[in-house]
Amino acid sequence: MLRSLSSGVSGVQQFQSKLDVIGNNIANSSTYGYKSGRADFEDSFSQSLQASGGSNNIQIGSGVSTGAVRSLFDVGTITRTGVPGDMAIDGDGFFMVRDAVSGETFATRAGDFRRDSQGYLVTNQGYRVQGYGDAGLTAPGDIKIDDTGKPDTDTTTIKDFRIEGAGKLKVVLGSGNSFVRGQILLQRFQDPEALVKEGNNLFSGIESAGALAQAEAAGTNGLGSIQGGHLESSNVDLASEFASLITTQRGFQASARIITTSDEMLQEVVNLKR
């Protein structure tokens, strides 16, 4: 009797956790670069009522637990925005950004970057995008948009910039001439599910996820291409989330019914003494 009560309680708790995951997915259905989560259940320890001396091994489970909440890294829909600082990865890979204050590095799929007052390409939180920071594409560091490396004969100022498929940063001058100022590099992980969500579309746990020794150019070694002027939408499938929402609600109700029925049976046992 008490085993069924415990099983019902565990069901209510775990379905509530799954509902939290679904709710977070739905809330982030319009978040750029967001990767949906999935709660995976597993059965809890089973109690043996009879030892397995033959074919009559009798075990009764003690409920359910959440084995993992996994992030799903399917590529979301890529939408054109026309904004120079926006970029999307079409395929595998992550942008790397650095906190200039703490020096900590994060991974992200959200490419809604902008040029700050110092000319650096940064996230909405001011973290600097990483890649080859020099015009010769040899020195890894912060990506900066300025006139370093422009032709000596051209005295015009910067008019615009754009990102090419391999991640190369092209600076366009007022004269119409352009030159390569740097290159955005991408990182790939052997176990991306080991990444830790830090909020603001950022992931930490880079070493635990098995990062490459060094970030590489887009379109090489299995990495996707970078599409400038585009953004990757959330990969949340609302139809699937609402279907999961219905089954989770029914599972919660069924688990609550187990608790109610167990309580009624215990009440009947207590009333036997009357």
Quote the CA–CA distance of 191 and 136 in Å, as a whole number. Answer: 32
Q: What is the pTM of this model?
A: 0.86
Contact between residue 59 and residue 32 where contact means Cβ atoms under 8 Å apart: no
Specify whether the CB–CB gap between 17 and 66 falls below 8 A: yes
Retrieve residue 265's tokens.
Answer: 């049976």
Given a cut of 90, whether residue 164 has pLDDT beyond it is: no
- Geometric angle at alpha carbon 108, from 39 and 35, rounded to 5°: 25
pLDDT in tens, 100-139: 999 999 999 999 999 999 999 999 999 999 999 998 899 9
Q: CB burial class (10 A; 0-12, 13-18, 19+) of residue 269? A: exposed
Q: How many Å apart are CA 182 and CA 169, to the nearest integer?
A: 5
244-258: average pLDDT: 96
pLDDT of residue 131: 96
User: What pLDDT sits at residue 93?
Assistant: 96
* Half-sphere exposure at residue 180, Cβ-oriented, CA atoms within 13 angstroms: 15
Q: Are 98 and 142 in contact (CB under 8 A)?
A: yes
Would you say residue 270 has pLDDT above 90? no
Residue position matching structure tokens 């902008």: 114
Mean pLDDT of the chain: 91
User: Nearest 10 degrees: CA dihedral of 127, 129, 227, 230?
Assistant: 20
Query: In the prediction, which pLDDT does 5 show?
Result: 87
Among residues of the chain, what percentage have pLDDT more than 70?
A: 96
Segment 9-39, tens digit of pLDDT:
999 999 999 999 999 999 999 999 999 999 9
Over residues 47-91, the pLDDT tens digits come to 766 665 656 777 788 889 999 999 999 999 999 999 999 999 999
What Cα–Cα distance (Å) separates residue 157 from each residue in 85, 174, 186, 218? Answer: 18, 6, 29, 28
Q: What's the confidence (pLDDT) of residue 271? A: 86
163 pLDDT higher than 80: yes
For residue 241, what pLDDT band results from cuts at 50, 70 and 90? very high
* Position 154 pLDDT exceeds 90: no
Q: Is the pLDDT of residue 274 over 80?
A: no
